[in-house]
Amino acid sequence: ASAADTITSATGPPLLLVEAALAAGGDSNRSNNTRETIGREVGAGVTADVGGVGVMLQVSGAQGSSTHRAAISQQHSRAQSPEKDDLWEPVVRQRTASDCQYDNVEFNDLLLQFREADTLEEQGDILHYLVVTFGLHHATGSFIEGEPVTVKDLLKDLYERSCHQKNWALVRHTAGMLGKRVEDLAKAVTDLLVRQKQVTVGVPPHAEVTITRPLPTPELRALINKAYGSDESTAMLTQELLVYLAMFIRTEPELFQEMLRLRVGLIIQVMALELARTILCSKEQASEHLLNLSPFQMKNLLHHIMAGKEFNIGSARSGTYFISSKSTKLSRKSTMGSFLGNSSMRAAAGGSCKEDVLEGDSDLAKDRAGQWLRRRRLDGALNRVPKGFYMNMWNVLNRCRGIIIEGKVIPQSLTQEMTAGELKFALEVETVLNIIPQPEYRQLVVEALMVVSLVAEQQVVDWLGDLISAQEIVHVANTIFLQDQRQQDGDAVVCCARDKRESTPTGGLACEGAAYVCSHFYDSAPSGSFGTMSYMVRAVVCSLPCFPQDGDMDCTIS
């Protein structure tokens, strides 16, 4: 076993990548000798060039000679997004399970391409294809000290060189192909389960697998690999994140309040979306950048996501990420002024506002734009609900025949089978909520149900009706919101508040609002005259048949 393998098997996942890199560097004489021997047989030119001080590809691009950087950038320019960040133009390479460019190439020719490859990424692509097509133990036809060199030997060598160069995406990918696993994985999952947190892995909503009981590490790794299929990188990242989550729940349990199930696949998606939002790149690029984060920065980003903190990413050009907290105060009150442009604000003020005040308001509105959409997206992805939410749902079901979400009914009969505070009841409700694929839309549905629970709690009416459609309440609230936007000439008039809503070629909203709900509604604060809760209350009154359509009635909801 190599030094990297030894360290990997003796340490937990938080140190997996860092310790592997240190181990590979600590036994540099033996590693260099092995690479030189393999290099003479199958890839001398690459080992001498890439393994030395020449080309060093990291997260932010190539460090080394400008000639190599120019050549590599030109080679991958077509794969990059047309919208480039001036401060950050990394090299992005996608690895797939089967690459058609190698399908008609003979094995020996592939070894020749491997030898002549300019970058570690290219070598990784070729070895990935060789592993998928021929297997890890396929002989290359070369020998070291009388022993045949296999594809696995080449992959181990690439893994060690990736550790040396801190090419974290390739480290994770090769570690996954080599079948490396984290010894503390079983303990980490057990720590989450004993604190009544179920864990799901895989891509939602169709490929998620729920872990409900402790399992040994080999079974966990097999389950994770099955959930992600051929995506070795994400499977390896999932192991890493599970250990970080276990660390957080031991030291900061408050981060997990009102969360019953940790959906790691959805958390990974949200982490990539947060990177895309922060560094202004495409979702595809953000996924690659996420895999390129160092273990420390990966843990740091996950903590920011769990805590709901705003963050900045800086100094990407130097080859290292710096994720720092961004001090912003999130207002819980929404006013129509936050939706209006400078001209409307000036008109509303009767022309009495000074220009610098208007500019300050505009800057403040710009800084706050997207904050509530982001908060709802994070809470939805983390399955975080308001305190007492599931007990409130039990009370609602006592006053109706059921709640319908995405065609699935939560029946009233559950209240006869389970108590209000029973974990099994909460999991039944959450399972139905998890059918909703968009996390921000899921969170609006939760807000709508909270308003319905207030109606039941305050005993505004004795009986709420038959089946309550939570999604109908959200869409009625969105319609009322758009009516107010038209009357007040708010921001939504440029998208959904028009007489004819614009849509994308795929049929979605032009503002990219999920589930045909305006993105400006997602970005509204909960409270205030024009907050989402105000619209939800009006929508509940319009949607539920238990409320009179004419006349006045007492309402104690505030």
In the predicted model, what is the mean pLDDT of the chain?
A: 75
Which positions ≥6 away from 261 have C-beta within 8 Å? 197, 198, 199, 200, 210, 383, 427, 430, 434
Rounded to the nearest 10 degrees, what angle do helices 264-279 and 295-307 cross at?
Answer: 100
Query: pLDDT tens for residues 357-373?
Result: 344 444 445 556 788 99
> Does the pLDDT at position 51 exceed 50?
no
83: exposed, middle or buried (C-beta count within 10 Å: 0-12, 13-18, 19+)?
Answer: exposed
What is the model's pLDDT at position 274? 86
In angstroms, the CA 434 to CA 53 distance is 49
What is the model's pLDDT at position 107? 87
Rounded to the nearest 10 degrees, what angle do helices 264-279 and 371-381 cross at?
Answer: 160
CA neighbor of 490 nearest in space, from 524, 516, 513, 526: 524
Pairwise pLDDT comparison (395 vs 145), residue with the higher score: 395
Structure tokens at 556: 């104690």
Query: pLDDT tens for residues 99-110?
Result: 567 777 888 888
Q: What is the DSSP letter of 249?
A: H
Sign for the pseudo-dihedral over CA of 20, 21, 23, 28: positive
Averaged pLDDT for residues 75-90: 33
Which positions ≥6 away from 105 have C-beta within 8 Å? 113
| CB contact burial 100-138 (16+ within 10 A = b; e otherwise) | eebeeeeeeebbebbbebbbbbbbbbbbbbbbeeeebee
Contact by Cβ (8 Å): 182, 13: yes
What is the model's pLDDT at position 308? 80
Contact by Cβ (8 Å): 378, 308: yes
Amino acid, res. 419: T
What is the model's pLDDT at position 336? 52
What is the model's pLDDT at position 505? 64
What is the model's pLDDT at position 311? 61
CA neighbor of 523 nearest in space, from 382, 371, 310: 371
What is the model's pLDDT at position 183? 76
> Does the pLDDT at position 556 exceed 70?
no
Q: Helix, strand, or coil here: 207?
A: coil
In angstroms, the CA 91 to CA 72 distance is 8
CA dihedral 253, 256, 257, 263 (to 10 degrees): -160
Averaged pLDDT for residues 278-307: 89
Query: pLDDT tens for residues 2-24?
Result: 333 333 333 333 444 434 433 44
**How many Å is the Cα radius of gyration of the chain?**
27
> Does the pLDDT at position 318 exceed 70?
no
Asked if residue 437 has a cis previous peptide bond (ω within 30° of 0), the answer is no
Which positions ≥6 away from 272 have C-beta within 8 Å? 283, 286, 287, 290
Q: What are the strands of the beta sheet with 209-211, ordered from one edge?
A: 209-211, 198-201, 261-263
Averaged pLDDT for residues 447-455: 94
Lowest mean per-residue pLDDT among 69-78, 148-157, 318-327, 532-541: 69-78
What is the model's pLDDT at position 69? 32
> Does the pLDDT at position 185 exceed 90?
yes
What is the model's pLDDT at position 47? 32
Annotate 43-98 with DSSP letters as a single string.
Answer: IHHHHHHHTTTS-EEETTEEES-HHHHHHHHHHHGGGS-SS-BTTB--------SS
Q: Which residues are bridge partners to 550 per DSSP?
A: none
Structure tokens at 216: 């040994």
Structure tokens at 56: 């060093």
Contact by Cβ (8 Å): 494, 344: no
Element at 325 (helix H, strand E): strand 322-325
Query: pLDDT tens for residues 459-495?
Result: 777 888 889 999 999 999 999 999 999 888 888 877 8
Which positions ≥6 away from 301 have C-beta within 8 Å? 271, 274, 275, 293, 311, 323
Look up tokens 């903190």; give the residue. 309
> Does the pLDDT at position 525 exceed 50?
yes
Sign for the pseudo-dihedral over CA of 369, 372, 377, 378: positive
> Does the pLDDT at position 345 exceed 60?
no
Query: pLDDT tens for residues 209-258?
Result: 999 999 999 999 999 999 998 889 999 999 999 999 999 999 999 999 98
Lowest mean per-residue pLDDT among 53-67, 239-253, 272-286, 422-436: 53-67
Pairwise pLDDT comparison (77 vs 496), residue with the higher score: 496
What is the model's pLDDT at position 363? 47
